[in-house]
Structure 1
Amino acid sequence: MDLSPKLSTKFEKLETSYPVKRSALIPMLMYAQDEFGYISDEMIAEIARRLDLNNVQVEETLAYYSMLRRKPMGRYHVQVCTNVACMLKGGYKVLERAKKRLEIGHKETTQDGVFSLEEVECIGACTGAPAMQVNYDFYENVTPLKFDRIIEELDAGKHPVPEPVTSGALHDRHVLETPLISQRWGTKDSRKLDVYVKQAGYKALEKALKEMTPQSIIEEVKKSNLRGRGGAGFPTGMKWSFVPKDSPKARYVICNADESEPGSCKDRPLMEMDPHQLIEGMVIAARAINSHQGFIYIRGE
């Protein structure tokens, strides 16, 4: 299959980027979709050949990930969320307006190929419900009127810039307990480094680097009784202590920042409103387990 020089270069780099070639499968599929709008049979065969896979192995990955498409969509692929939070805030009104305005239904494309429409499940934007995604752009607090304005701008060849949603109405809430993770939410410029540092940000990291050993960090976290937030509530310090101390293998800190359940509103606001808190915690964890590299996993949407 003939590829553009740009896509071919990306593929060649991916083929040598991972210890196991199959790890390049999803990035290749995303790059291909970005260029062609969907994944064709020819592209499946091309990727399978490059990664020493068979076509079925590529197909099963395609079938699993809802963001990967097997047929062409419009130049602007409009996805309207109607899951719990968005439904309660008017998501179905936005969807009905989209159907009427674009004159198409679910997973259909306008005759001119400009717009396609899809009703989707939770896209991890519950704090800004109802939410809508156009290609890679998010629009939150969408109303039928706001939808019309976005479509008008896209139709005119403009790029409507999503309005930043920095916080909810935190000043109106009655706080029953002292907030720890969310104490800076709603503070002006809370995401900026200088604001974080002025509020004692990175002091804990400074102490961990200058005054503590990896083992003493782990013991301190054990005493704190901090637990994982993935559902099982496993003690964090104990988990860190399981990392072999004398192994020559590389260690990695992985932050799972996936809003995995509809209605969950924690990981994304934390990263948007107080990112340095997350980074500081990751570096302290890296110090504790002698890691020199970390990754933040963010879901595709």
Structure 2
Amino acid sequence: MMELSTALSAKFEKLQTSYPVKRSALIPMLMYAQDEFGCVSDEMIAEIGRRLDLNNVQVEETLAYYSMLHRKPWGKHHVQICTNVACMLKGGNELLERAKKRLEIGQKEVTADGVFSLEEVECIGACTGAPAMQVNYDFYENLTPLKFDRIIEDLDVGKHPAPEPVISGALHERHELETPLISRRWGMKDSHKIDVYLMQGGYKALEKALKEMTPESIIEEVKKSNLRGRGGAGFPTGMKWSFVPKDTPKPKYVICNADESEPGTCKDRPLMEMDPHQLIEGMVIA
């Protein structure tokens, strides 16, 4: 049995009783272990497996699948720079080269003092703020060379530069022929507040759905709108809703799948931060 700190042991014990299936605790346990020890060792793999009734191979296959989990220690500040489509077009590759020169290390290397490590990564779900990088659990977006240097300098002397808020204005100047739909309130003052949403006609569609429409007519209206999912596949929303069994007594659940999905697609985080009531209204109608 591996000796753990009191805090980590308490987290593990809570996770072990938090899920109907023990294995569901595997990923959070791996993350907590990595946070404390800097990586996931062979000894830790065995310890987690023992607690969750899994063999080492079952733990290792999950560990190998997720790139944010690793077997060797990174630096105190693990700098991950995205070079996927959106970030590449906004200077991600140039930012990566600047990082290599500034830190004097290459891909997946650690500085001699152990303070920094560097990794080129695929999409980190920050396409609306490209170019972007992730340092441990913090995201830094709309980076410039000078902004990058300032962040690294602050981290190097023990400061913690706060990421800029996403709710800071429209993502770009709108063309006169552009008719924004999802982003029409982005950049508006207090766009995340319900009072502003109501002033802009918010929850009128929900009121109509509840008072004037049947479930079947709502689905038909959504089908006619040609509304599609924004995860990359573009599956018709109305058709997806129509697949839900109608005559079952079992409870039905609406899940907000806030996954950032394919590179370059609409991102959920700015929608939830800048116009959350639009999302809530859609979920209630569903």
Same fold per TM (> 0.5)? yes
Distance, in Å, in 2 between the alignment partners of 1:258 and 1:226 is: 18
Report the CA distance shift for 1:209/1:239 in structure 2 as closer, same or farther (over 3 A). same
Q: Are the equivalent residues in 1 in contact too, given 2:232–2:265 (CA < 8 A)? A: no
Q: Are the equivalent residues in 2 in contact too, given 1:222–1:235 (CA < 8 A)? A: yes
State the Cα distance separating 1:233 from its structure 2 match. Answer: 4.3
Q: Are the equivalent residues in 2 in contact too, given 1:170–1:185 (CA < 8 A)? A: no
State the Cα distance separating 1:238 from its structure 2 match. Answer: 3.8
Q: Are the equivalent residues in 2 in contact too, given 1:132–1:138 (CA < 8 A)? A: yes
Which deviations, in whole Å up to 9, do the C-alpha atoms of 1:97-132 show, x marking residues without a partner? 211221211111112211111111111112221111
Aligned residues: 284
Q: TM-score normalised to the size of structure 2?
A: 0.88
Gaps of 5+ in 1: 286-301
Gaps of 5+ in 2: none
Report the CA distance shift for 1:137/1:231 in structure 2 as closer, same or farther (over 3 A). closer
State the Cα distance separating 1:138 from its structure 2 match. Answer: 0.9
Which deviations, in whole Å up to 9, do the C-alpha atoms of 1:194-232 show, x marking residues without a partner? 222222223333444566565554454345443333455
Distance, in Å, in 1 between the alignment partners of 2:251 and 2:11 is: 26
1:262 matched residue in structure 2: 263
Identity %: 84
Q: Are the equivalent residues in 2 in contact too, given 1:167–1:273 (CA < 8 A)? A: no
2:173 matched residue in structure 1: 171
Q: Are the equivalent residues in 2 in contact too, given 1:39–1:71 (CA < 8 A)? A: yes
SS of residue paired to 1:67? coil
Which deviations, in whole Å up to 9, do the C-alpha atoms of 1:243-272 show, x marking residues without a partner? 334545443222233232222244333223
Report the CA distance shift for 1:129/1:256 in structure 2 as closer, same or farther (over 3 A). same
Q: TM-score normalised to the size of structure 1?
A: 0.84
Distance, in Å, in 2 between the alignment partners of 1:6 and 1:248 is: 43
Query: How do 1:39-78 residues align onto structure 2 when only pairs under 5 Å count?
Result: 39-78=40-79
Distance, in Å, in 2 between the alignment partners of 1:169 and 1:16 is: 43
SS of residue paired to 2:173? helix
State the Cα distance separating 1:174 from its structure 2 match. Answer: 3.1
SS of residue paired to 1:180? coil
Distance, in Å, in 2 between the alignment partners of 1:210 and 1:27 is: 43
SS of residue paired to 2:227? coil
SS of residue paired to 2:255? strand
State the Cα distance separating 1:57 from its structure 2 match. Answer: 0.9
**Residue range with higher mean Cα deviation, 228-237 or 148-157:** 228-237
SS of residue paired to 1:187? coil
